[in-house]
Structure 1
Amino acid sequence: MTGPDPNKVYPNENIRQVVFIKNVVKRANIVVGDYTYYDDPDGAEKFEEHVTHHYDFLGDRLVIGKFCAIARGIEFVMNGANHRMRSVTTYPFNIMGGGWEKFSPKLKDLPFKGDTVVGNDVWIGQNVTVMPGVHIGDGAIIAANSVVVKDVPAYCVAGGNPCRVIRKRFDDGLTEYLLSLKWWDWDAEKIFRNMEALCSGDLEKIRNIKDI
């Protein structure tokens, strides 16, 4: 056995609140890697509803890596939520109609933070909000109920509103080793052969993996 089929919606047919996200998204501007899942008993298949203010004409993407675990209540707020800030008022007159539409802001007048990027092997707890343009590094953990407003480094635990780094998961040497190892890019058989090391609390086991 080498694990579930990454191309199925439900990795385990007996737990249908968990879906592999890449198999339920339809927007071209959302890119998700293999085995990344969303867990939501209220309809995990509706993951795209949790990516808000995401408009093709802005060109921003949500990019999520492989083997991420995303809990219910996530919201990725994209750049379309931004209002102009350099004018006297931030009010979006143009979307209300009644003649106000002629006062549409130019794209250059709107704050634009670029793509939102989540690395590989990231765990995001319940009811987390990720703001536009944030980058979350490989192996990071985001605590429940956090609002992520700035980048989170790889292999850090972060939480709060605004979200701040609480601690590093590992020492710098092991973090650098894991970032170079990129286990999430292994084929399914190699992951299976090394599952004990990947799941062990004995961190030295990862340095003795098979078939580097």
Structure 2
Amino acid sequence: MHRPFPGADMRHPLTLPDGTVHTGTVFLKNAIDHPRIDVGDYTYASAHTPPEDWAARLAPYLYPGSPERLSIGRFCQIADGVTFITASANHRRDGFSTFPFAVFDGGFEEGRPSLPQTTDPDTVIGHDVWLGQGVRILPGARLGHGVIAGAGAVVAGEVPPYTLVAGNPARPVRPRFDEATIARLLNIAWWDWPIDRILDHEAAVCGADLAALEAAAQV
């Protein structure tokens, strides 16, 4: 029998053993009000020094008027120092200079030649993704469900589901499970279950009991 789980609408879901609330940990969707960021339920972020503006801390180049979006799934774990470097951070790089002349004299609306003419796609983080301390996610990266990015990794491009990546630039270290297991996990999609159902099967989710998870999925 487990104690009541924090509601998905809580801002500070972590209570320490002495009864105090850990203000450096937030359910992220309740700490961010940004028109270009979507975050799923129960995804949390932590910071040793909690920011006043979580959106600015995590995605400092994503502006309200940016054309791209940042989408983060459910049950993700975002460690201290993680930064999403979205497409609006880019400079034009197909000419002789990358210098953004238009930025310094109000040339945004004019579509000046020193501004990028195209943008990278949205940055998309799947469900149950763990981003370790100091990870950098580059513009347009797409991380599949269950990915783990090791501390300090600089991640670009597409990362298949349930892959462990590390390094700069990040490279696959190994798949977390074999292909058949990954396919079955993606079919189960436990992250879409109600939280009480997930908690009832916590041992199977965290203990890699695939048969029990598949049985629970049929209920």
TM over 0.5: yes
CA contact (8 A) 2:188 2:217 kept: no
Q: Can you list the C-alpha shifts for 1:50-80, whole angstroms capped at 9, x where unaligned?
A: 2022134432110000000000001101111
Q: Report the Cα offset of residue 103 of structure 1.
A: 8.1
CA contact (8 A) 1:24 1:47 kept: yes
Cross-structure match for 1:6 = 8
Cross-structure match for 1:181 = 188
Q: Report the Cα offset of residue 97 of structure 1.
A: 2.8
Amino acid at match of 1:19: V
Residue 67 of structure 1 pairs with residue 75 of structure 2 = yes
Distance in 1 (alpha carbons) for counterparts of 2:125 and 2:105: 36
Task: Give structure 2 stretches of 5+ with no counterpart.
Answer: 16-20
**Aligned match of 2:168 in 140, 161, 164?**
161
Distance in 2 (alpha carbons) for counterparts of 1:87 and 1:12: 49
Pairwise mapping of residues 24-103 of structure 1 onto structure 2 (< 5 A)? 24-43=31-50, 46-49=53-56, 50-97=58-105
Q: How does the TM-score come out when normalised to structure 2?
A: 0.87
Distance in 2 (alpha carbons) for counterparts of 1:210 and 1:203: 10
**Aligned match of 1:115 in 98, 122, 134?**
122
CA contact (8 A) 2:74 2:191 kept: yes
**Aligned match of 1:19 in 23, 26, 35?**
26
**2:53 aligned counterpart, secondary structure:** helix
User: How many equivalent pairs are there?
Assistant: 210
Distance in 2 (alpha carbons) for counterparts of 1:102 and 1:46: 30
Amino acid at match of 2:9: N
Amino acid at match of 1:87: G
Distance in 2 (alpha carbons) for counterparts of 1:120 and 1:65: 4
CA contact (8 A) 1:19 1:44 kept: no
Q: Report the Cα offset of residue 102 of structure 1.
A: 7.2
Q: Report the Cα offset of residue 197 of structure 1.
A: 0.6
Query: What is the percentage of aligned positions where both structures have the same residue?
Result: 37
Q: How does the TM-score come out when normalised to structure 1?
A: 0.90
Q: Report the Cα offset of residue 16 of structure 1.
A: 2.3
Distance in 2 (alpha carbons) for counterparts of 1:37 and 1:77: 19
- Which has the bigger relative contact order, CA under 8 A and spacing at least 6? 1
Task: Give structure 1 stretches of 5+ with no counterpart.
Answer: none
Distance in 2 (alpha carbons) for counterparts of 1:56 and 1:120: 24
